[in-house]
Amino acid sequence: MSLRGRLLGVLLGVLLAALLPLGLYLNARIGSFAQQQAARALAGQLAVVARDQERSTAGSAVSGDELLLLQYEVFNLALSSGTWGVIVTPQQTLFSDSGTHPSPPTEAVQSVLNTGAGQWNGLQLARAGDTVIGLAVRQEEVNALRSDVLRTYALGAALASLLAALAGVALLRLGLTPLRTMARRSAGLTAASLSERLPVPQARDEVKTLALSLNAMLARLEDAFARLEAAEERTRQFAADASHELRTPITSLSMGLELLEKVGDDPAVRTRLLLSLRREARRAGRLVGDLLDLNRLEAGEPLRPEQIDLSALLGNLARTAADLAPQMTIRAEIEAGPETAQVWADRARLEDALWNLIRNAVAASPPGSEIVLWSRHEGEGVTLGVRNPGELPPELLPRLFDRFVRGQTSGEHPSGEGSGLGLAIVRATALAHGGDVLACNLSGGGVEVSLILPAFSPRSA
């Protein structure tokens, strides 16, 4: 059964549950009221006859002629009222018809003689001297009145139920129209149309709440599909990049191994070939590692932020880099002030990004150059980066942070050593922290690549 049918059934059931007890109560009240009205009318008529009889006998015993006259008046009154009458004398009990009715008991008769009037089992009684007269309430009239009232009530209840059903159907149709509209719109939604939203009614009711909830669910589904598509795109990109970039080192490894089999026992040639094979293996391993790191960052891998002392971090990196590249002068330059000395970030990711900047700077700088690791406070965040001598071609700047983009390198660091993913990893690290990257040629000469980190608190972490 549809929701509209169930709601309509509940509405009519509640209405019936209210009308049925009301009908039972009305039946009882109408029967009692009709009985009382009929008894009151008969009591009035009996009172008139009894008063006339009291006046004629003056409290003495009823004679034979007077009893005949009383019998005529009471039985004629019973006949005209469509009921039966009774006269109880000290000697006998007279009925207006065949006399099959029960005779009033002695205690009821004595009570009427003492009080002047009373009733027993639907029989209205009155005292006329030493005689008791009575008229019975006509039950057929009482039942007929009750039936008429109940029939009228039943007709009214049926009409009320019909009107309630019609009004309920109309109101339910009107009230459920937004739900049907939402159902039709929802049935037509596909993965390609998740950006559509259901109409939200102006009224502040449950339908509006449902529409807002469904729209919120659609937004979450759209976001989930977008993430899924992005993950699939990253997987395809990873496979394409890996297959394209690994082709060269794998080919070199294969050719080197073939040559190694043919050179025989020449130590010098074998040494050169082993060095070449080791270099290509390192290159392939570095390429795979950089691709995995880049895909993890772009997939939104959770960070492990902590409070980092930039003075200590940049100083350690500068000393380690100076040991690894003794032909360069590498130093750290920290802007004075406590606000620039601390930053909230993932230490491992931040160190990897800075190492990529240092490697690129060393590869692009001639021997004897000075490379500076720096940091400074800007707005509510911190900017840190690497500065080295040289100049970036203007056409390279817009795509410097793209994958597999390689710039010019110094003679001692051929471009074939790098994977072309270092700056892409730097940008992915900055975006994962809610920041950005920037590369520019300095007016006084030199290149500066910076990593911008926003304010990052333990609560937001």
Under a CB-based contact definition with an 8 Å cutoff, are residues 134 and 124 in contact?
yes
Burial of 328 (0-12, 13-18, 19+ CB in 10 A): buried
Copy the structure tokens of residue 256. Answer: 């080197």
Copy the structure tokens of residue 164. Answer: 């309630």
Task: Categorise residue 218: left if φ over 0, alpha if ψ from -120 to 50, beta otherwise.
Answer: alpha
At residue 85, the pLDDT reads 87
Which amino acid, 391? E
Query: Quick one: which H or E segment has residue 359?
Result: helix 347-364
Query: Which residue in 345, 300, 347, 379 sits closest to 460, CA to CA?
Result: 345
Query: Which residue in 28, 33, 89, 39 sits closest to 64, CA to CA?
Result: 89
Which amino acid, 279? R
Structural domains of the chain ordered from first start: 3-141 (no CATH), 302-453 (3.30.565.10)
Copy the structure tokens of residue 64. Answer: 């034979």
Task: Tell me, rounded to whole angstroms, the distance of Cα 204 from its chain centroid.
Answer: 15
At residue 414, the pLDDT reads 42
DSSP state letter for 305: E
Under a CB-based contact definition with an 8 Å cutoff, are residues 134 and 46 in contact?
yes
Q: How far apart are CA 378 and CA 323, in angstroms?
A: 31
Any idea what the Cα angle at residue 449 is, between residues 293 and 455, rounded to 5°?
75
- Look-up: residue for tokens 């290159």? 283
Query: Quick one: which H or E segment has residue 285?
Result: helix 267-298
Query: Which residue in 373, 371, 368, 379 sits closest to 452, CA to CA?
Result: 379
Q: How far apart are CA 452 and CA 434, in angstroms?
A: 9
Q: What is the dihedral of CA 8, 13, 19, 21, to 10 degrees?
A: -170
At residue 372, the pLDDT reads 92
Per-residue pLDDT of the chain (461 residues; tens, 9 = 90+): 677 788 888 888 888 888 888 888 888 888 778 778 888 888 888 888 888 777 766 656 667 777 888 888 888 888 888 888 888 888 888 888 877 888 888 888 888 888 888 888 888 888 887 888 888 888 777 778 778 888 888 898 889 888 888 888 888 787 777 777 778 877 777 777 777 777 777 777 777 888 888 888 888 888 888 878 877 776 777 677 666 666 777 777 787 777 777 777 777 877 877 888 887 788 777 777 777 777 777 777 788 888 888 888 899 999 999 988 889 999 998 876 655 567 888 888 899 889 989 988 898 888 889 999 998 887 778 888 999 988 888 888 888 888 777 665 554 444 445 567 788 888 888 888 888 898 888 888 889 998 888 875 444 44
- What is the dihedral sign for C-alpha 225, 230, 233, 238? negative
